[in-house]
Structure 1
Amino acid sequence: MDKSLNITHFTLSGYVELSKYRYLCFFVMFAVYILIMCGNSAIVYIICSHRDLHKPMYVFIAALLLNCFTYSTTVYPKLLIDFLSEEQTISYSACLLQFFTFYSVGGSEFLLLAAMAYDRYVSICKPLRYAAIMTKKIVTALLILAWTVPPLHFSILTILNAEAKICKYDINGIFCNNTFYKLHCLSSRLVTVIGVVALVDLVILPMLFTVFTYAKIFIISYQSCKEFRRKAAETCFPHLLVLVSFSCLVLYDVIIARVDSDIPKIARLIMTLQAFIYHPLLNPFIYGLKMKEISKHLKRHGVCIKAGHSIHPSVGSEHLFF
């Protein structure tokens, strides 16, 4: 950091028209945040509380939804504070922490999707060897890799950003993402190289692996019976939806942060908010509605809750079981 400028805070200049709509924006985004937390926690609870869901596929889904918790908590609380504040600023250390957490979780997302693709490939294409290949140790190792490799990559980038000289204090956005690099006095070749390595290791390679794996699954499914194709589609389609959703988010983040354009501020703000809303909000619906076993348990819990409310308070709990 350039000590001569004594920069301790940055201004977030991506907010527009807050004086007119600040409370509306706050309540809408607060409602979205609550929905994200409740939706993701409901699916994670269902998976954790039912032993028939303690399988690799559902463990990876729970890990993916836990990532949504972290992803949303990295952005939404600060976003809600900024909507109610007269000035939208962020401290230098908080900006670095937000940058590190946001991209570490993003990298974990692609690695988890790749692990899920591998699990589906083994399950569908090598069913007789599934139990021998997808053991508890393998699943644990894949989870550890997905949650440790991205932070290792981005810890280096965060340290380099912390040591870089800063000549600007105005971030053209509403949070600390790749736009942080535009604050540097000089572009660093080392930062660029490590950023490209992180992009290849954590985004491009896992995405190619996932696409190639599902292509193999669909080829084998096409050559099989109709029932086999239906079951393969039931388990693979939700994962592909999530992959496409998150890939669009990453593509937008790279374009909007790296390419200077004349996009109006209001359009940029709306596009950025969509990136925060759709992916973590849609994940519980995709897995809750499209995954047959999870959907079945959700419906059972819904029936139990309705039954519990319909029982008169004078009826003792012992009458709930027959």
Structure 2
Amino acid sequence: MRSPGLNVTSLTLEGLAQLSDHRWLFFFLFLAAYLFVLFSDSLVVYVICSQRNLHRPMFVFVAAVLLNSLAASAAVYPKLLSDLASGRHFAQVSHAACLCQAFAVYSLGGSSFMLLAAMAFDRYLSICRPLRYAALVSPAAVAALLLLCWLLPAVMVCGATLLAGRLPLCRWRLSRVYCDIYSFVSLSCGGGAAMLSEAYGMLCAAAIVFLPAAFVLFSYGRILSICLRRSRAFSSKALHTCLPHLLVFVNYSVSAAAELLHRRLQAGGGSAASILTSVLVVVVPTVFNPVVYGLKMKEVLRHVRRLLSCRRAG
């Protein structure tokens, strides 16, 4: 007979125990990463917002990706830093707070792939349909795309969060340092509710991760085929504008693959490698994005240098 579940009001995150031997080293590394993300993302977004010549769809999407990255960082870094500084080998988090963090992590993660798909669509139209670009990528169309990129993942992940929140839990100890929806399924007593939650989770992943990723690959494949038939100068310019987006896409894809690897590792227990993988899934993309967009996009880099040089001179 299957257990009806426990009346779990809080969960214990035991991942800190794997980091305890070098707790302060990790604390300062994550603090430096978070401060870098706050400064660099805010700087690039400010430059894009303040410079009229950057008020173009491509840069609007860049700003959206960085704002999304800032929100994802705020969902993980402060709690992680607080837990590391506490000196405890585990963190206690309420059931509701854990669900909220899980919703934020998954929703913003899905929005990242949706935004990258929107950027790929923008580059595809710009390079492959230049005569229709201005008509198709209007300010209203850009606003609608941004709304879709944030609302669709939020709505779908909200459904997954509600299903996970209703699962009867037979355990309350979790070998992680932050919450995610899959964790609730792994702690549940199983049964039809858990299977439904897993099936809906796969549907969400297909809609907001795998389909956008496939669209990105298709779009850049079409761009590459066009470039191969054009002049070298045209191909070089087109590929240069696409390179930052491709680097960020690869970064997110590797992080998503690392999350799947982490689940495999977690199935055999919470090893140090498993815990570090779960943290790096969040840390690497947030740190990598502003570096790529700040250094690889000449228009942004030029304004960033000018702004920093003016502040030093002042």
Question: TM-score with structure 1 length normalisation?
Answer: 0.91
What amino acid maps onto 2:150 in structure 1?
W
Query: CA-to-partner distance for each residue in 1:198-232, whole Å, 9 max, x for gaps?
Result: 11111111111110000100111111111111111
1:168 aligns with 2:201: no
Query: How many Å separate the matches in 1 of 2:29 and 2:237?
Result: 38
Contact between 1:238 and 1:287, CA under 8 Å: does it hold in 2?
Answer: yes
What amino acid maps onto 2:310 in structure 1?
C
Per the TM alignment, residue 272 of structure 1 is displaced from its structure 2 partner at its CA by 2.3
Query: How many Å separate the matches in 1 of 2:303 and 2:67?
Result: 19
1:93-242 counterparts in 2 under 5 A? 93-177=96-180, 178-187=182-191, 188-242=194-248
- More moved, 278-287 vs 293-302: 293-302
What amino acid maps onto 1:42 in structure 2?
L
Match of 2:65 in 1: 64
Contact between 2:172 and 2:187, CA under 8 Å: does it hold in 1?
Answer: yes
Per the TM alignment, residue 76 of structure 1 is displaced from its structure 2 partner at its CA by 0.5
Query: How many Å separate the matches in 2 of 1:213 and 1:102?
Result: 27
Consecutive unaligned residues of structure 2, counting only runs of 5 or more, are: none
Query: How many Å separate the matches in 2 of 1:96 and 1:4?
Result: 18
Q: Secondary structure at the match of 2:16?
A: coil
What amino acid maps onto 1:71 in structure 2?
A
Query: How many Å separate the matches in 2 of 1:17 and 1:203?
Result: 30
What amino acid maps onto 2:115 in structure 1?
L
Which of 1 and 2 has greater Rg? 1
* Percent of aligned positions that are identical: 40
- More moved, 260-269 vs 191-200: 260-269
Q: Secondary structure at the match of 1:7?
A: coil
Consecutive unaligned residues of structure 1, counting only runs of 5 or more, are: 309-322
Query: How many Å separate the matches in 2 of 1:103 and 1:264?
Result: 21
Query: CA-to-partner distance for each residue in 1:277-302, whole Å, 9 max, x for gaps?
Result: 21100101100111111111112112
1:302 aligns with 2:303: no
Q: Secondary structure at the match of 1:16?
A: helix
Q: Check 1:17–1:106 CA distance in 2 against 1; reply closer, same or farther (3 A cut).
A: closer
What amino acid maps onto 2:85 in structure 1?
L
Q: Check 1:18–1:202 CA distance in 2 against 1; reply closer, same or farther (3 A cut).
A: closer
1:28-43 counterparts in 2 under 5 A? 28-43=29-44
Query: How many Å separate the matches in 2 of 1:8 and 1:117?
Result: 43
Q: Secondary structure at the match of 1:166?
A: coil
- More moved, 74-83 vs 14-23: 14-23
1:22 aligns with 2:28: no
Query: How many Å separate the matches in 1 of 2:12 and 2:287?
Result: 28
Contact between 1:171 and 1:180, CA under 8 Å: does it hold in 2?
Answer: no
Query: How many Å separate the matches in 2 of 1:13 and 1:62?
Result: 35
Contact between 1:15 and 1:265, CA under 8 Å: does it hold in 2?
Answer: no
Query: How many Å separate the matches in 1 of 2:269 and 2:303?
Result: 45
- More moved, 98-107 vs 11-20: 11-20
What amino acid maps onto 2:189 in structure 1?
C
Q: Check 1:205–1:17 CA distance in 2 against 1; reply closer, same or farther (3 A cut).
A: closer
Query: How many Å separate the matches in 2 of 1:20 and 1:253?
Result: 24
Match of 1:287 in 2: 293
Q: Secondary structure at the match of 1:254?
A: helix
Q: Secondary structure at the match of 1:167?
A: coil
Match of 2:256 in 1: 250
What amino acid maps onto 1:65 in structure 2?
L
